[in-house]
Structure 1
Amino acid sequence: MTSHLARRLGISIVALTIVILLAIVAPRLLAHSKRPQYLTAQVERGTLEDAVLATGTLHAFKQVDVGAQVSGQLKSLKIELGDKVTSGQWLAEIDPVISQNALRQAQANAQKLLAQKRSITAQLKQAELAYQRQQLMLPDDATSRQDFEAAQSALDVQRANLASLDAQIRSARIEIDTAQANLGYTRIVAPMNGEVVSIVTQEGQTVIAQQQAPVILKLADLDTMTVKAQVSEADVIRVRAGQTAYFTILGEPDKRYYGKVRAIEPAPQNFLDTQTNLGGSGGGSKPNSAVFYHALFEVPNPDHRLRISMTTQVNILLDTARDALNIPVAALGAKDDKGTHTVRVLGADGALETRKVRLGINNNVKVQVLTGLKEGEHVVIGDVDIEDHPSSDKDS
């Protein structure tokens, strides 16, 4: 009986103890559950870049249009699309028959003039002898002055004829040189080392080179590529020659190709069209279109993975910070007159603290922290309203 009472007394004491503990702990748990909840981000170290973003296209650093300087039928092509050629290599031939005939005609004309020169030379010698005889006879009145003057005039005429023929012969030699050059132009050779990137004229087509040189094919040196990045008028004032730039292509979005900005074109990419519109009947109003300027830089392309007209995503670096403390831009509060920003920091015990931080590079996603925070701390980037985010049990 006594042991039974003792057991009941012990159970009562344990139950009372549990009730007391619940009375003490429950308010605290309830208060803790009502604490504000925050979205936070950790203060980290990393590389930050302040860059001008642009879209660009790839071009060969050196590219030439190989054309024809003489008219005629394209007799043969010695190369195919994609072939690599060296400077001076024979690329194509235009039918040389017309140029050969022109050369033969020029040579025949020159030979004719040379024959005439020999005839005039003989006549000149005869006129010189006749004049000399008249000179000897005139002092002795063995001839009339009229005969003397006639001999002198005949000599002058033959000398003038010889001078005229000499000029015609020089002209004929120029025609020979021109005909030889035109004949040489029927054999089209590579002006530089490169790759055949386009064949414009096919075998059998007739080319007319009277007003402008028709393009036969296009050669490009693909060992170096030029990037033409379209920089907006808002950003171009921050870009200058010598800045580091890199780009990615659609086929390799994780691979960066680096270069240095060589130049920024002074006129926008649509400058000629704009001038045409301004000079037309439309008046002097500016066309309602975006204005972009080309920033140019080169990258090596030894394996020819980069190709003409590829689209590139370009970053022109204005500033870079390596191993820099950084936080999301969303964590920034108001900026004061000293240039510092307020940031809310959540401590390990859940306490919220407001600090002043001084910033460095800001790329609109993350911002460099110069002073005010330490690596590993957590900054508040937003508040969570528990009532607006019910538990999964309630949703179900």
Structure 2
Amino acid sequence: MKKTQRRWTGIVAGAVALILLAALCLHFFSGDKGPQYLTAKVGRTDLENAVLATGTLQAFKQVDVGAQVTGQVKSLKVKLGDEVTKGQWLAEIDPVIPQNALRQAEANEQSLVAQKRSVAAQLLQAELAFKRQQQMLSDDSTARQDYEAAQAGLDMQRASLASFDAQIRASRTQIEIAQANLGYTRIVAPMNGEVVAIVTQEGQTVIAQQQAPVILKLAQLDTMTVKAQVSEADVIRIHPGQTAYFTILGETDKRYYGKLRTVEPAPQNFADSQGGLGGMGGGSSKSNTAVFYNALFEVPNPDHHLRIAMTAQVNVLLGTASHALSIPVAALGEKDKDGSYIVRVLTSDKRVETRKVRTGINNNVSVEVLAGLKEGEHVIIGEASDAAEAAAAASAAGS
């Protein structure tokens, strides 16, 4: 073991000695005694400055198709992935109870109509009796008490008839409600789209007393909405109308372009964080979490290649430059008061010149040069490390 360690120590020491010897030879025999620089060539490229965000894909229009009546799902007429048209029959809820309710409402109306006929006949009789009393009273052939009793009986029959009219109107309202409930047992598509989820299966019982239970979900996939989560540091730099594009995990080299439609004013899950009295509950407990705002835009999806819930790597473009003169950001020196930067240029005769350059788009890797440099020049991005010091550091790390 000790022999092996001594052998490796000897090898490392020999390598270090060779590196030192090479460095000394380069120092003494090289014609250029000046410092060694790392340079980059001023060239042309396409630049873009963008806000980066992660988003998810959603259908531009999606509807939860629910049930408005309680009952058992008797049959489903569609399968997952089916294309449906507006008005197409999707599902049926057992119609027995709504049918019986309709029959009961119709029977109640028929009974009220029959009672109204009886009251109408009594009203006719009361009118005739009152007319006789009127004639007899004018001839003093009857007592005023009998006349007044006939008048009161007539008014009572008229009131009864009006009451039955109101009851019949109410019963017809009940018939309309029962007819509507019976119609609700036949669930139809509210729009054209694709069945993207089936929530309730055949045979399940749905209860629609407090809220409408969801039977299935329809979505229009010809257009997709991208919901990009933009950090609070970047959201102040974006606005509706800006160009945005995204890539998906399965196609990182293909870009899908769109225009920002809106930037939501409140962060995501804002409503959930405002519980409690006065909207203050839960707000302080989330003060240390990252804050993101949703930026939305649409892209066409005619072949349905994009799918719901896909992850999107989003770029919101702040500026672009095509075939722009550019240099690495590392070449920039101090910034002057007028907004220009100091850049060192290594000339063809190995002299170092200091230039002032005006810059444009800066994506933190490359920067656009608007003035101060020419294509083909070399800018200094750093100084080469001393070879001896690098070798010594490598030797120390190896030991």
Note closer, same or farther for the CA distance 1:280–1:372 as it changes in structure 2 (3 Å cut). Answer: closer
**Distance in structure 2 (CA, Å) of the matches to 1:78 and 1:302:** 26
Q: Give matches, 1:284-299, under 5 Å.
A: 284=284, 287-299=287-299
Deviations 1:261-290 (A, max 9, x none): 111111100212221278566685652111
Q: In the alignment, which residue of structure 1 is the partner of 2:213?
A: 214
**Distance in structure 1 (CA, Å) of the matches to 2:198 and 2:281:** 39
Q: In the alignment, which residue of structure 2 is the partner of 1:160?
A: 159
Deviations 1:353-383 (A, max 9, x none): 2211111111111111001111122212121
Note closer, same or farther for the CA distance 1:283–1:254 as it changes in structure 2 (3 Å cut). Answer: closer
**Distance in structure 2 (CA, Å) of the matches to 1:84 and 1:246:** 28
The answer on whether the counterparts of 1:274 and 1:287 sit within 8 Å (CA) in structure 2 is: no
Aligned residue identity for 2:306: L
- Using the TM superposition, give the Cα deviation of residue 136 of structure 1 relative to its aligned residue in structure 2, in angstroms: 0.9
- Using the TM superposition, give the Cα deviation of residue 251 of structure 1 relative to its aligned residue in structure 2, in angstroms: 0.7
**Distance in structure 2 (CA, Å) of the matches to 1:328 and 1:243:** 26
Q: Give matches, 1:1-396, under 5 Å.
A: 30-32=29-31, 34-276=33-275, 279=279, 284=284, 287-385=287-385, 386-388=387-389
**Distance in structure 2 (CA, Å) of the matches to 1:283 and 1:82:** 41
- Using the TM superposition, give the Cα deviation of residue 347 of structure 1 relative to its aligned residue in structure 2, in angstroms: 2.3
The answer on whether the counterparts of 1:194 and 1:219 sit within 8 Å (CA) in structure 2 is: yes
**Distance in structure 1 (CA, Å) of the matches to 2:26 and 2:99:** 111
Deviations 1:315-364 (A, max 9, x none): 11111112211111011111122221111222233332221111111111
The answer on whether the counterparts of 2:249 and 2:312 sit within 8 Å (CA) in structure 1 is: yes
Q: Which residues of structure 1 form unaligned runs of 5+?
A: 1-25
Aligned residue identity for 2:321: A
SS in 2 for 1:157: helix
**Distance in structure 2 (CA, Å) of the matches to 1:174 and 1:279:** 42
Note closer, same or farther for the CA distance 1:109–1:51 as it changes in structure 2 (3 Å cut). Answer: same
Q: In the alignment, which residue of structure 2 is the partner of 1:3?
A: none
- Using the TM superposition, give the Cα deviation of residue 31 of structure 1 relative to its aligned residue in structure 2, in angstroms: 3.9
Q: In the alignment, which residue of structure 2 is the partner of 1:4?
A: none
**Structure 1 residues 265-274 or 188-197, which shifts more?**
265-274
Deviations 1:126-185 (A, max 9, x none): 111111111111110111111111111111111000000000000010001000000000
**Distance in structure 2 (CA, Å) of the matches to 1:296 and 1:31:** 61
- Using the TM superposition, give the Cα deviation of residue 236 of structure 1 relative to its aligned residue in structure 2, in angstroms: 1.0
Larger Rg computed on CA atoms: 1
Root mean square deviation of aligned Cα: 2.2
The answer on whether the counterparts of 2:346 and 2:352 sit within 8 Å (CA) in structure 1 is: yes
Aligned residue identity for 2:360: G
**Distance in structure 1 (CA, Å) of the matches to 2:174 and 2:26:** 113
SS in 1 for 2:302: coil
**Structure 1 residues 338-347 or 244-253, which shifts more?**
338-347
**Structure 1 residues 352-361 or 297-306, which shifts more?**
352-361
**Distance in structure 1 (CA, Å) of the matches to 2:256 and 2:26:** 61
**Distance in structure 2 (CA, Å) of the matches to 1:368 and 1:280:** 47
**Distance in structure 2 (CA, Å) of the matches to 1:282 and 1:223:** 39
Aligned residue identity for 2:342: T
The answer on whether the counterparts of 2:275 and 2:281 sit within 8 Å (CA) in structure 1 is: no
Q: In the alignment, which residue of structure 1 is the partner of 2:5?
A: none
The answer on whether the counterparts of 1:51 and 1:315 sit within 8 Å (CA) in structure 2 is: yes
- Using the TM superposition, give the Cα deviation of residue 219 of structure 1 relative to its aligned residue in structure 2, in angstroms: 0.5
Q: Which residues of structure 2 form unaligned runs of 5+?
A: 1-24
TM-score, normalised to structure 2's length? 0.88
**Distance in structure 2 (CA, Å) of the matches to 1:260 and 1:286:** 32
**Distance in structure 2 (CA, Å) of the matches to 1:126 and 1:289:** 84
TM-score, normalised to structure 1's length? 0.89
- Using the TM superposition, give the Cα deviation of residue 34 of structure 1 relative to its aligned residue in structure 2, in angstroms: 4.0
Q: In the alignment, which residue of structure 2 is the partner of 1:14?
A: none
Aligned residue identity for 2:190: P
SS in 1 for 2:126: helix
Note closer, same or farther for the CA distance 1:241–1:353 as it changes in structure 2 (3 Å cut). Answer: same
**Structure 1 residues 315-324 or 30-39, which shifts more?**
30-39
SS in 1 for 2:117: helix
**Distance in structure 1 (CA, Å) of the matches to 2:162 and 2:129:** 20
